[in-house]
Amino acid sequence: MNSKAAIVVVTAHDGPTKRISKASVRIPNLLGKSKIVLQYRDTKAKKVRLHDVYVGMTELRRKAEFVFGFFAAHGSERGLHGANWELLLELQTCKQFRDAVLVLCSCLKTGRFPDEVVKLRAGTRLCVRSVIGYREKMRVPGSTFIEKLDPRFSDALQEMIEAHVLPLLQNKSVEQAIKEIKAKLYEILTRNCLSQESRLVISFNIPRLQSWGDRKARLPLVCER
């Protein structure tokens, strides 16, 4: 049996993506305690490109199957985008997954892209079983808001982002993960330390969180433990 692998791709080229990038810094370590993790993250010197992701996955697939993906980037009906609105994840790249669960911390508009992703097959193989993400918009405050109005929101945002992965690593189904993510967001809403503006950002995102595909899917990374 081939080893199982995960990929983490995080952009950081404008205000919202920089906030998510900072909040997702521990995701590779959470995944990598027992499995192979391929990681791409924007730096000042170099931005992640579609070519990097595609080639990296192609090379690693010789010894591992990609069963999980965490992506933080701007989204559209065509896929996810990096700097200068260049495509970062599209259907052809998604064909490299095998029975995978994907978490897309992105604005997914009408949801057409994840709708198409969960239908992808490479021959008889199902590529992606389920996608967790945000229909329409995922709202993230800019750095000015956080620094001037609510510096404690950064810690809350990190909890929110990590909550997208932790239930899956505990062998919870996608359906259970959605419930736990929303429960975490509601719990953060009750904290007196956060400003009203922060609560508005969180409450905006809760009803937009959903899944596409098989809601009973579990993360194959966990099954090997």
Do 36 and 73 meet the contact criterion of CB atoms below 8 Å apart? Answer: no
Assess whether pLDDT exceeds 60 at residue 1. Answer: no
> pLDDT band at residue 225, thresholds of 50, 70 and 90?
very low
**DSSP E strand stretches across 108-185:** 121-122, 125-126, 128-134
pLDDT at 126: 97
Mean pLDDT of 1-27: 91
Mean of all residue pLDDT scores within the chain: 92
Architecture of the structural domain at 3-223: 3-Layer(aba) Sandwich (3.40)
For 143-168, write each residue's pLDDT tens digit.
666 667 787 888 899 999 999 999 99
Q: Which position has the token pair 């199957």?
A: 65
Please give the Cα distance from 82 to 31 (Å, whole number): 23
Name the token pair of 91. 């259907």
Q: Distance between terminal CA atoms of the chain?
A: 14
Please give the Cα distance from 38 to 32 (Å, whole number): 9
Phi, psi of 135 (to 5 degrees): -70, 145
Q: Residue 142, SS3?
A: coil
Quote the pTM value.
0.94
Name the token pair of 191. 């904290």
In the chain, the percentage of residues whose pLDDT exceeds 70 is: 94
> pLDDT band at residue 8, thresholds of 50, 70 and 90?
very high
Q: H/E element holding 127?
A: none
